[in-house]
Amino acid sequence: MSKLYNSTCYCTNLRRSANAMSEFYDSALKEAELTISQYYLLVNLSRLGKANITHWSEQVGLDRSTMVRNIKPLQSRGLIEGAEGHGKTFTLSEKGRHALDTATVIWQQMQEKMEQFLGKEDADAILRIGSRLQDLKD
């Protein structure tokens, strides 16, 4: 593979970095049959206990239509199930809890590997800068 153009664009560099990190985590999470995006959704649903699509999407920072698309594979695989509540409300199924438990062990290992790769200072910088950028508005 040839070396990528060394861009000075902040957005390009962040997107490339995000893609590389997603591939890093996705590769490891294949064992749990989840992607990092699916893991993130399940972690947040677990934290919430149960949530309707609107509340869940607000908690994870996705628009509602994107959330609906992302929920479908989780639902069809039996990882989440309907729950009582306002609107379409979901909770983790027993299968989803098991998948999340398995994936969490892998995720923790990948977090440690990422911190070893970057060093503690740069790993902390990613969290600090990422948090700040999430507040970026036009």
The whole-angstrom separation of Cα 9 and Cα 46 is: 37
For the purposes of burial, counting CB atoms within 10 Å of the CB of 17, is it exposed (0-12), middle (13-18) or buried (19 or more)? exposed
The whole-angstrom separation of Cα 56 and Cα 89 is: 9
Q: What domains can you pick out in the chain, each with its CATH number? A: 23-106 (1.10.10.10)
Neighbouring residues of 72: CB distance < 8 A, sequence distance ≥ 6: none
Given a cut of 80, whether residue 138 has pLDDT beyond it is no
Given a cut of 90, whether residue 86 has pLDDT beyond it is no
Q: What is the DSSP letter of 2?
A: P
Over range 88-113, report the average pLDDT: 96
Q: When comparing pLDDT for 127 and 2, which is higher?
A: 127
- Of 8-12, 17-21, 133-137, the poorest mean pLDDT is in 133-137
Q: When comparing pLDDT for 84 and 113, which is higher?
A: 113
